[in-house]
Chain A
Amino acid sequence: MINHILRFFKSVPKMLAAGMVTITMMSPVAAQDSRLGEIVKRDKLIVATFGTAPPFCYTDEKGELVGFDIDIARLIAKSLLGDAKKVEFVVVNSEGRWPAVNSGRADIGIASTTVYPDRALRVAFTRPYIDSGVSILVRKDLGVKSLSELNSSKYTLANLSNPQMQERQKRFLPNVKVLTFDTPSSMFTAVRSNQASAMQMDTPVVNWYAANNSELSVLSENLAVVQGNAIFMKPGDFTLWLWMDTMVQEMQAGSRYSEYSEIYKKWFGKNPPPQRFYK
């Protein structure tokens, strides 16, 4: 019995030493271990996105995910893995997009997502890949033509459950009544079913809705704000973040500009800003 105990204590230093070696061997590897390597090894990019936010990321009549964000994800997969098809989408809802990347379920998120300081504390954003602006979609039968006409307690504005929406509403339309929903499609249903008089949303989104519904129109006045949508991921992985940020730069002002502007034209019918002297 005593022998057993003695033998155990004798082996303690050896065990400690072995442990130390393991730790010292592991830590530099762990520090360099980027999710980017994992994506390349897996040969597939996993992207968290929305399924109900046209024209950025939504489900078409055939049940397939389509939209500007979806095409951007495919362009990234093509640039990273050589094939636009090597991407898997994880469809999430508004608050579900954060744990989707932070838990490692998805590599990155491309989900019509606005950069916001509170959010940037918990996810890492690239530079924005689009500034969408914000416009107002109204029911034509109300006869509202301007923001000042809409700013009345007679009317109800549909918001999404995010902070930018509330701040803009307080700034531009402080007198209007407010309803708050968790998806753009619920907002849109509220406007169409007369529960709301109008909704605020990214300009391309309201243009898309107005183009597809004759009883709705877009106010000519924009809400004067910058709405930077960016790719987000789990913070702390510098290698992955740098690659994604570089990719956004390449799309907007580098080797992928032609493909990026093709996608932009496909969904929004015009060239992306800033306009260039060469075409």
Chain B
Amino acid sequence: MPFEIPLFIRSVPILLEGLTITLILSILAILLSAFWGVILLLSMRAGKFSNAFARVYIEIMRNTPIIVIMFFMFFGSGVIGFPLSGFIAGLLSLVLQNGAYVAEIYRAGIQGVSNRQTEAGLALGFMPKRTFLLIILPQAIRKVIAPLGTQGVMIIKDTAIVATISVAEMTFQARLLADRTAAVFEIFTALAIIYIVLTSIFNLGIRVIERKYGYKN
């Protein structure tokens, strides 16, 4: 089975048509997940009831396949009479699941800051809230840059799944093209390369941020 180089090259511009939507979806999903994670973290710290609620939510989201969440959002919203567009249903699903992962990353980052820091803050006369905001949080943020970067890469890759609910992003274009031409290997190789370039650029950005602000021993 020969690998058709010309077809491989011809497929790239068609895939790039879907790149815009992949990029918009990835950026929105990463930013909103980071924000949703903060809200979940705050509700975990706010009291017993909201803590239990957030924990249950996080467990459900972390243990459900993203495609199931997307089908629920997309087809389910139609059934109850408020059909969401594929893009919105996909974005919501990505944020709902990845926000749960991100909240766990935040929690781990905060737990990673030594208890003695809190004790020191209190001993210096800071109120508990100010101790958290001024002493613990800045250190925790530095610790979570790398794991957040990994989660970002996961989000970029997961955007491929919205192709199944009719969003014309990159993987969607690849499927259309593969179905038309029957040249699956060429097109999916081109697709893989574009994803690798995309995630590499993202990783590079994270690396730069990490070097500048990250936790140094």
B99 interfacial contact with A, CB 8 Å: no
A: number of interface residues (CB 8 Å): 28
**Which residues of A from 158 to 194 have beta carbons under 8 Å from B?**
161-163, 166, 179-182, 186, 189-190, 193-194
- CB <8 Å contact, B172 and A180: yes
- CB <8 Å contact, A122 and B182: yes
Interface size class for chain B? 20 to 34
Note all chain B residues with C-beta closer than 8 A to A161.
Answer: 172, 175-176, 179
Q: Which of B58-66, B79-87, B100-108, B140-148 contacts A (4 or more CB under 8 A)?
A: B79-87
- CB <8 Å contact, A123 and B182: yes
Note all chain A residues with C-beta closer than 8 A to B184.
Answer: 95-96, 98-99
B195 interfacial contact with A, CB 8 Å: no
B74 interfacial contact with A, CB 8 Å: yes
B126 interfacial contact with A, CB 8 Å: no
B5 interfacial contact with A, CB 8 Å: no
**Which residues of B from 157 to 195 have beta carbons under 8 Å from A?**
163-166, 168, 172, 175-176, 178-185
Note all chain B residues with C-beta closer than 8 A to A103.
Answer: 1
Note all chain B residues with C-beta closer than 8 A to A270.
Answer: none
Please, how many angstroms separate the alpha-carbon atoms of A32 and B30 in the complex?
A: 57
Please, how many angstroms separate the alpha-carbon atoms of A184 and B144 in the complex?
A: 43
Partner of B79, one of A119, A180, A194: A194
B78 interfacial contact with A, CB 8 Å: yes
Nearest chain A residue, comparing its CB with the CB of B188:
A95
- CB <8 Å contact, B75 and A195: yes
- CB <8 Å contact, B182 and A94: no
Note all chain A residues with C-beta closer than 8 A to B121.
Answer: none
In the complex, which of the residues B77, B86, B176 has the most CB atoms of chain A within 10 Å of its own CB atom?
A: B176
B76 interfacial contact with A, CB 8 Å: yes
- CB <8 Å contact, A163 and B78: no
In the assembled complex, the CB of B154 is this many whole angstroms from the nearest CB of chain A, namely 22
In the assembled complex, the CB of B109 is this many whole angstroms from the nearest CB of chain A, namely 39
Would A193 and B182 be within 8 Å (CB), given that A180-B166, A180-B176 are in contact? no
In the complex, which of the residues A103, A186, A234 has the most CB atoms of chain B within 10 Å of its own CB atom?
A: A186
- B residues touching A (Cβ–Cβ < 8 Å)? 1, 71, 74-79, 81, 83, 86, 163-166, 168, 172, 175-176, 178-185
- A residues touching B (Cβ–Cβ < 8 Å)? 94-96, 98-99, 102-103, 116, 118-119, 121-123, 161-163, 166, 179-182, 186, 189-190, 193-195, 234
5 pairs, A vs B, C-beta closer than 8 Å:
A94-B175, A180-B166, A186-B164, A189-B71, A193-B78
